[in-house]
A and B are shown apart, each in its own frame.
Chain A
Amino acid sequence: MSEIVFDGVTRRFPLAKGGDFLAIDCIDLRIEEREFVAIVGPSGCGKTTLMRMAAGLDFPTDGRVLVGGKEVRGPGPERAVVFQQFALMPWKNVRENIGFGLMCRGTPRAEREEAVAHYVQLMSLAGHEDSFPHQLSGGMQQRVAIARAYVMNPAALLMDEPFGALDAQTRIVMQEELVRLARRNPRTVLFITHSVEEAIYLADRVVVMGKRPGRILETLDITATRQAENWEAEPIEEVMDSPAFTHLRSRIWRLLKAREQEAPAA
């Protein structure tokens, strides 16, 4: 059971000079089991905060966050997180980084090594098992981060702008790979991004958020279009070029732009 539910979630931050900053205003959102949902929005709209609350790294001021029917009380491996800055431990090599969660759990060595080897293969990291993070490119480091999330067999995957720190070319490659992985290994995914194209390409549903305060502007269902246009069979550059794709993209851009004009940056 892994559906993610945000029930009337509000988050306020106390300001240094007194008073509160309303980051998120009463959000209701339900992510079904095995659904891939992307949240898209400008910086500061609260999308990362939502993800952190699902991860148990932050808590709502009002309302509840539930995963698999249980209220979130803290971080744990059943809700694996992939961070934008990779967050790999510089003093552990690739193998040790991927196997860290299993080691904490007490998984016996043989089992652990097998699981790590499996994901090393899957994420095309073969040959780099003994390398340290600083010896790897950004893309490879993120692959390690994704591998270490998957190896825990989590019920839910929470990804915070995972490709934000990568250069444009690497980013596209990773997007294709993630799609492949997600279709092969489906689970509930909450994916945060500020790239509209990325959201449309990867997700079953795209939630568009505006800021000041953080609220859901609209939710778009992508599955219908994706299946109708058979995106899974095409390379990413073809998909992003297709009229159906650009149509969705423009729609979301218009939403964001309209919102920006209503409440321009201070």
Chain B
Amino acid sequence: MRTDSDEVVIEPYPSPNHGVLSSFYTPRKLLLPLRERLLQAVPRSSAPRSLVIFITREEQLLRAITDPRGDLTRRLKQVAQQRGLELVPFEGTKRTMTEQIQLFGRARVIIGPHGAALANMLFARTRMNERTRLRASAAD
């Protein structure tokens, strides 16, 4: 498996028994194996999950955040610091795929506008995710 790619495309999964919108949902049975394979291919960081990753979309033409004074970033950073976490602004075009996987592996919370960068939640090693993985493995 190559991990120096610039992007991962998650194909829509046909779901003819549901409505049009749900046909674009990627089901759990594909997401979990994909997640496991990608995480296995990238060295796991031993750093704590102490990041609040703020997806900015600052270089995107659509659905960017217009906040000229930086009030939102400042407020989120304040909350993160009060909770002992670090706010990291994220603009996906500036990082390699491997860097993204490692960064989101340290996420405690991901926050941002609707957009493809939210799919990086796939790499978040939250306790919730770990529990889900364990239960899925047990069910298999």
A and B assemble together = no
Which residue numbers of A lie inside 8 Å of B, CB to CB?
none
Which residue numbers of B lie inside 8 Å of A, CB to CB?
none
